[in-house]
Structure 1
Amino acid sequence: MKLITFRRHPADAGRLGALLSDQVVDLALLGDATGEPLPDAMLDFIDLGPQAVAQTAALLDDIGDDMPLGAAQPLANVTVMAPIPRTRKNIFGIGLNYAEHIAESARGLDTAADMPEKPVIFSKPPTAIVGPGDPILHDASLTQQLDWEVELAIVIGTRAQRVAEADAMSRVFGYTVMCDVSARDNRRAGQWIVSKGMDSYAPMGPCIVTADEIPDPHDLDLWLAKNGEEKQRSNTRDMYFKIPHLIADLSAGITLEPGDVIATGTPEGVGAGRDPQEWMWPGDVIEYGVDGIGVMRNPVIRAG
C-alpha cells in the first residue's frame, strides 16, 4: 500500500489515507463504514503491527469499486502532508554511505576520504519535518551554504533492540523519500545537528510505501534536480552500509521503535562536491524522488 497523511482544509489535522490510483481512501471513515476499526493517524496505524497492513490491504481488495459513500475522494481535492508530520523522536541520519559521496565530501568538506569502519550517525529533530510542496527556509543570517541530499528513508514497524542483521528487515514498516537539507557552514567541531536539523531541513514524503510492495530496497533509482537541472542520480544498490547493517548497528545500543525513521544517506552530486560549489537560494525549486515511492517538490524561500 501507499499510505499518506492528508488534510482537506488548511486548519484540519492530518488524517491517514491510502492511495488508490488518483483517489485517497480515508481509512478511519472506511473502518467506520465497514465495522473494521482503523486509526486516523499514521503512527497509530504503524503501532498496530504488520498484521494491520495485510488486513487493510485485504479490506481494500474486498471492497473494490463498492467504496462506502464519503470514504474516498480525488487526490486533487486534498493537501498531502509529510506522512509522519512529527516523529516521536529524532530522525536518524546516516552520513557518508555512498562511495562517490565520500570522495566528493573529502574534496569539498574536508571529511575523511577513507570508507568509514562503522555507519556515521547524526540526527534531525521532529521540528525539521515538512511535507510535499512546503518551503525549505533559507536564513541568510545563519547560512550561505544551503545544500541538498536526496535519500531513501526507512520507517521502522516493530520494536528493534539488539537485532541481528538476518532479522533486521522484518522490523521495517515501509519506505519514504527525504531530502537531507544541510547548512554546510554550520558544522560545529564535527557535530552536525545544527547543520542538519534546522526547521524545514527534513522534507519527507509524499507517502510511505509498505515493505511488502518493495521486495528489494537495494535496487531503487534515486535522483534530484534543482530548477529542472539534474544534480543527483544513483541507485540504492550503491549504499556502502546496507539497510540490515544500519538497523543492526543502531539497535545494538539504541532501541528502535515503531515510527522511527532512518535516512540512509545520499549519493554523489551534492552542491558542496561540485566545482565550483553550488548552493540553494530563495527562488530555487528542488524536485527529487525514489523509484517506486514517489516524487517530492519543495521551493526554497527566504526565512522570516
Structure 2
Amino acid sequence: VSFTLDRGRTLGIVGESGCGKTVLARSIMRLNLGSNVTTTGTAEFAGRDLLSLPMADMHEMWGMELAMVFQDPMTSLNPLVRVGRQVTEHLRHHLGVGRAEAARTAVDLLNEVRIPEPEARLRAYPHELSGGMRQRICIAIALACEPSLLFADEPTTALDVTVQHQILNLLSREQRDRDMAMVLVTHDLGVVAGRTDDTLVMYAGMVVEQAPTGALFDDIRHPYSEALLRSLPRTSLASHTRLAAITGRPPDLIDPPSGCAFSPRCPYVQQRCREEVPPLAAVDDPEHMFACWTPVGSPEGRDAFTRNLADGLPSTVAVDLAIHASSNGGEAV
C-alpha cells in the first residue's frame, strides 16, 4: 500500500470487512500492538517515519498531531467516567491547561460539534447519551488539540441512516474549517462520493484501484470496485429489488489463492488471472491506477465477460442478472 496525503485533503479507503482498511489505519497510528504484529515499510509524517519512532514519542503525537475516531462510540468511551472528564483530561495532558480552562474549552468543543446543552452533557455518563451524541463526543475529543491528520475509521457503522449523514457532514465541515488531512475508512463507496478527494479500494490487504474520487466514479476499472458500486441500493429501483451482492467470500489471508486474490469471485476472470498477480499500474490516466488483467470497460474485459457468461460462470451470471434487473426496474429476466 502506498499513498500520499496533503494537508487539507481527504482520502477515502474502501473495501469489505477484513480487507485491511482498519489494519492500515491502525498500523500508521502504531495502534496494532502486540508481539505477533509485524509492520514493514515506512509511514512518513511531517518528515518523520512513524513506524521507527520510539513509542514514547508516538504517545505524545496521539491526539496532538494524529487522532482517530473509532467505529463504535460506546466502546471508545469509558462507561464509568463522566463525559466531561474524558474530554478535559485530553486537553490537560497535551496542552497543560488548568481545570477551569479545560472545562471552558470542552464546552466550546461540544458546541462546535453541535451538541445542545453542552454543560449538561459534560456531566453525563456515556450510556445516558444517544449513539449519535456519543460519536460527536468522540469527534470532539479527537479534534480537541487540533491534529494535522484525522483517521475516521467507519465512524457511522453503529448509527442509523439519518445520524450517519449528520456525522459525515460534521467531519467534512471540521476538516475544511481546520484545513487538516483526513482519512475516511468505510465499506460503502457511496460514503466517499462527494466527500473525499482521492480513493483507495482495498481487497485482501492490497490496493486494487487508486484514483481521484471523481475519476473513479466516472471510469471504474477494477471488477471489485464495480461490484462494490453495483451492490449499493438505489432509490430508482423498485422496493422489492434484490441487492446485487458480490458472490463468494473474501479469501483466507493465511492461505490466499494464487494469482489475483479476487479471481474466485470475479465475473471477468480468465486463466491468467488465476496464475499471475496483476501489478497496480496506470494505463491512460497517470493518477488512476488499477490491478487487473481484464479491466472493466476494456476490450479484454468485455471479451472475458462474454466468454464467462456463455460458460455459465456463477459470478458472471449473477452480474448479468443484476444488470437486467436494473434495466427492468427491479424485475430480473
Same fold at TM > 0.5:
no
Q: Comparing both chains, which one has the higher relative contact order based on Cα–Cα distances under 8 Å and sequence gaps of 6 or more?
A: 1
TM-score (norm 2): 0.23
Which structure has the greater CA radius of gyration?
2
Higher-strand-fraction structure: 1
TM-score (norm 1): 0.25
Higher-helix-fraction structure: 2
